[in-house]
Chain A
Amino acid sequence: MNQITRLKLKTVLYLVIAALIGGVIGIGTFTFGYANGASYLKADSKSCANCHVMQGHFDAWVKSSHGKFASCNDCHAPHDNAVSAYYCKARNGFFHSLAFTTGDFEENLRITDYNRGVTEQACRKCHADLVHQIDILAVGELNKDSSERLESNSCIRCHSTVGHDT
């Protein structure tokens, strides 16, 4: 193979690669936009109902006791620092997308243990004054990560419907 053909071949390949990479970026950008990707980086509760699977929860939340005061994120994302908040959003975002894409989920959704822990702590953020005393009475030791506290003195075991009754 002589020098010139080799150069031409390379040029063609580079062009193909450039086109493909451009394609990836283009299609990726469009998909991201079409799926309202940016809305998930914000905290607007409406974006949680982008997928119709959450419409019922959203409708119930609007009418609930917490509908005027707490957003989805207020109860379903951690409040300790930005890293764990975005970890939670990324983790749930990934698994929700996976379930919704494959259709592999049950009719009556059940909260996972990880997310129950997040919500349980979220109650304590706003209702600290009240809950502090209860926690001390019930558990004694106020250790934030104490699983004992979540199991033995859980808010949402009784107050399971304050956010949305589904």
Chain B
Amino acid sequence: MKKQTGQITLSTLLLIVILSAGICFAMVALLTNIFERKQEGRSTIMRVVEIDDDTSDPAVWGKNFPLQYDDYLKTADMIQTTYGGSEAIPHVPTDEDPRDIVSRSKLELIPQLKRMWAGYAFSKDYREKRGHAYMLTDQLYTERQKVGQPGTCIHCHGSTYVAMKELGNGDILAGFEKLNTMPYSEAKEHIKHPVACIDCHDPDTMALRITRPAFMEGIAAYKATQGIKDYDVNRDASRQEMRSFVCGQCHVEYYFKGDQKRLTYPWSEGLTVDAAYEHFEKEEFKDWVHAETGAPMLKAQHPEFELWSQGIHARAGVSCADCHMAYKRVGAMKISDHHIRSPLLNVNASCGTCHKTSDQELIARTENIQTRHRKLVEVALDALMDLIDDINKAKKNGVSEDKIKEAQQWQRKATFYVDYVEAENSSGFHAGQEAARILAESIDFSRKGQKALR
């Protein structure tokens, strides 16, 4: 086509067509996006199924609460933080243990633990903790099962609320007592899911509620130390307290009391490590006898709730959920993130609500505390190894029975103190100074044990 003055060439025309079509396209896309954002500002919950007090399957709840359920399923992710989380290790499935992925063995990472627990199931198998999604499988296939575990364990490793109700004909306390006395292999037959919606939520109102009898009794015992009589947690707790209490149903130090194997939280004297130790002394309780020294031992287990309660965040009224289930925005809705995980994987939403600074700075602050903590744990464990060596030597050299007994008592106490923060899942962060004090005490108890043998 020959170009003439005052006329537009065909290609220019085509260019204009393409250009304006592109602009139209972009504008309609923007328009649609604005429309979607406006829609987001509207509806929230669509109830599509009926949920009642016997619905233990979280997938059913998930039909009404898909956002929360999707996040809940993400607890299957395995992510490492500097001092926590878990590393996925391939595992060849066997008949005994069909898992194809496990987490790293802590006994290999921290060799002193094996000796600290000599003669106890934990010296056989102790791994990094994984997310809630694994609570049931990791409990089923741990080699600690070979020693034979009571049904009590299921109290926290599965969704037991409905099972307890059924076993107790509507009375969860009766059901709880039944589960405690069963062997684990029998108890697990009553459980289908890991911890689920119904374990923390009232199905009618979605309000938080406590379903674990051991916590009801434990918290009542603790409140009694503060002069509060007949404390009923579901009646008396504030909403903000509940945002920690529901976690405290399981993330606590506990023991199996008496022949009934009744799950008990040692809070009759208070929530500190000293109070727990005092409780065990009064009960004359021991978990096992140390294989090397013959000392009557205690095993501490994940007292996150107790250590958190001694820390600055608890003092400031910050709950577990504030950091581990930080609010997130989905459309115009504000929901709690049910992907329960380390706040270090979600710094802006977790810490940033109060701490107006960069993610890097907040991670650095946290890891500062944790690095110092790890160093102290190493020192305390080494001190304990020295004490075990000395007791063994003293036994060979015919040191008097009384002195050995006294040293064994110190070993029991030193172990409980160091184990208390080692088994706790925050590498000291939940209460940095309290954790440091506990470790200092542990080192001192090991020293006193060595001194007793002189």
Which chain A residues have a beta carbon within 8 Å of chain B's beta carbons? Answer: 6, 13-14, 16-17, 20-21, 23-24, 27-28, 30-31, 34-35, 51-53, 55, 100-101, 106-108, 110, 160
Residues in A with CB closer than 8 Å to B1 are 6
Please provide the chain B residues from 312 to 330 with a CB less than 8 Å away from any CB of chain A in the complex.
Answer: 326-329
* Closest 10 pairs between A and B when the two form their complex, measured CB to CB: A108-B352, A52-B332, A20-B20, A107-B349, A106-B348, A52-B41, A31-B31, A13-B13, A27-B27, A35-B34
Please provide the chain B residues from 14 to 38 with a CB less than 8 Å away from any CB of chain A in the complex.
Answer: 16-17, 20-21, 23-24, 27-28, 30-31, 33-35, 37
Q: Which of B28, B31, B35, B327 has the most CB of A within 10 A?
A: B31
* Shortest Cβ distance from residue A146 to the other chain B in the assembled complex, whole angstroms: 23
Residues in B with CB closer than 8 Å to A31 are 27, 30-31, 34
B145 near A: Cβ within 8 Å? Answer: no
* Shortest Cβ distance from residue B165 to the other chain A in the assembled complex, whole angstroms: 37
Please tell me if the beta carbons of A20 and B40 are within 8 angstroms of each other in the complex: no
* Shortest Cβ distance from residue B20 to the other chain A in the assembled complex, whole angstroms: 4
Can you give 17 contacting A-B residue pairs, CB < 8 Å? A13-B13, A13-B17, A14-B13, A17-B13, A17-B17, A27-B24, A30-B31, A34-B34, A52-B37, A52-B41, A55-B332, A101-B30, A107-B326, A107-B327, A107-B348, A107-B349, A107-B352
The docked-state distance in angstroms from the alpha carbon of A16 to that of B19 is 13
**Known contacts A27-B24, A107-B328, A107-B349; 7 further A-B pairs (Cβ under 8 A):** A30-B31, A31-B31, A35-B34, A52-B37, A53-B329, A107-B329, A108-B348
Residues in B with CB closer than 8 Å to A35 are 31, 34
Say yes or no: A24-B23 contact (C-beta < 8 A), given A31-B31, A35-B34, A52-B40. yes
Main secondary structure of the interface of A (DSSP, over half): helix
Selected contact of B16 from candidates A17, A28, A110, CB within 8 Å: A17
Residues in A with CB closer than 8 Å to B353 are 108
The docked-state distance in angstroms from the alpha carbon of A160 to that of B16 is 51
Residues in B with CB closer than 8 Å to A27 are 24, 27-28, 31
Which range contains the number of B residues in contact with the other chain?
20 to 34
B356 near A: Cβ within 8 Å? Answer: yes
* Shortest Cβ distance from residue B333 to the other chain A in the assembled complex, whole angstroms: 9
* Shortest Cβ distance from residue B12 to the other chain A in the assembled complex, whole angstroms: 10
Please tell me if the beta carbons of B352 and A20 are within 8 angstroms of each other in the complex: no
Say yes or no: A108-B349 contact (C-beta < 8 A), given A27-B27, A35-B34. yes
Residues in A with CB closer than 8 Å to B23 are 24
Please tell me if the beta carbons of A24 and B24 are within 8 angstroms of each other in the complex: yes
Please tell me if the beta carbons of B24 and A110 are within 8 angstroms of each other in the complex: no
Please tell me if the beta carbons of A51 and B37 are within 8 angstroms of each other in the complex: yes
* Shortest Cβ distance from residue B422 to the other chain A in the assembled complex, whole angstroms: 33
Please provide the chain B residues from 393 to 441 with a CB less than 8 Å away from any CB of chain A in the complex.
Answer: none
When C-beta atoms are compared, the residue in chain A nearest to B41 turns out to be A52
The docked-state distance in angstroms from the alpha carbon of A35 to that of B28 is 12
The docked-state distance in angstroms from the alpha carbon of A108 to that of B352 is 6
The docked-state distance in angstroms from the alpha carbon of A117 to that of B10 is 52
Residues in A with CB closer than 8 Å to B348 are 106-108
Residues in A with CB closer than 8 Å to B329 are 53, 107
Residues in A with CB closer than 8 Å to B21 are 20
* Shortest Cβ distance from residue A133 to the other chain B in the assembled complex, whole angstroms: 28
Residues in A with CB closer than 8 Å to B20 are 17, 20-21, 23-24
When C-beta atoms are compared, the residue in chain A nearest to B10 turns out to be A13
The docked-state distance in angstroms from the alpha carbon of A13 to that of B15 is 11
Selected contact of A23 from candidates B24, B326, B328, CB within 8 Å: B24
When C-beta atoms are compared, the residue in chain A nearest to B33 turns out to be A101
* Shortest Cβ distance from residue A63 to the other chain B in the assembled complex, whole angstroms: 18
Please tell me if the beta carbons of B24 and A106 are within 8 angstroms of each other in the complex: no
Residues in A with CB closer than 8 Å to B30 are 31, 101
The docked-state distance in angstroms from the alpha carbon of A106 to that of B356 is 13
* Shortest Cβ distance from residue B190 to the other chain A in the assembled complex, whole angstroms: 39
When C-beta atoms are compared, the residue in chain A nearest to B28 turns out to be A27
* Shortest Cβ distance from residue A55 to the other chain B in the assembled complex, whole angstroms: 7
* Shortest Cβ distance from residue B13 to the other chain A in the assembled complex, whole angstroms: 5
When C-beta atoms are compared, the residue in chain B nearest to A23 turns out to be B24
Please tell me if the beta carbons of B40 and A34 are within 8 angstroms of each other in the complex: no
Residues in B with CB closer than 8 Å to A55 are 332
The docked-state distance in angstroms from the alpha carbon of A111 to that of B10 is 50
The docked-state distance in angstroms from the alpha carbon of A48 to that of B255 is 56
The docked-state distance in angstroms from the alpha carbon of A100 to that of B1 is 48
The docked-state distance in angstroms from the alpha carbon of A80 to that of B25 is 39
When C-beta atoms are compared, the residue in chain A nearest to B18 turns out to be A20
Please tell me if the beta carbons of B352 and A16 are within 8 angstroms of each other in the complex: no
* Shortest Cβ distance from residue B2 to the other chain A in the assembled complex, whole angstroms: 10
The docked-state distance in angstroms from the alpha carbon of A149 to that of B131 is 48
* Shortest Cβ distance from residue B327 to the other chain A in the assembled complex, whole angstroms: 7
* Shortest Cβ distance from residue B201 to the other chain A in the assembled complex, whole angstroms: 23
Residues in A with CB closer than 8 Å to B24 are 20, 23-24, 27
Please tell me if the beta carbons of B17 and A16 are within 8 angstroms of each other in the complex: yes
* Shortest Cβ distance from residue B44 to the other chain A in the assembled complex, whole angstroms: 12
The docked-state distance in angstroms from the alpha carbon of A51 to that of B33 is 12
When C-beta atoms are compared, the residue in chain B nearest to A17 turns out to be B16
* Shortest Cβ distance from residue B31 to the other chain A in the assembled complex, whole angstroms: 5
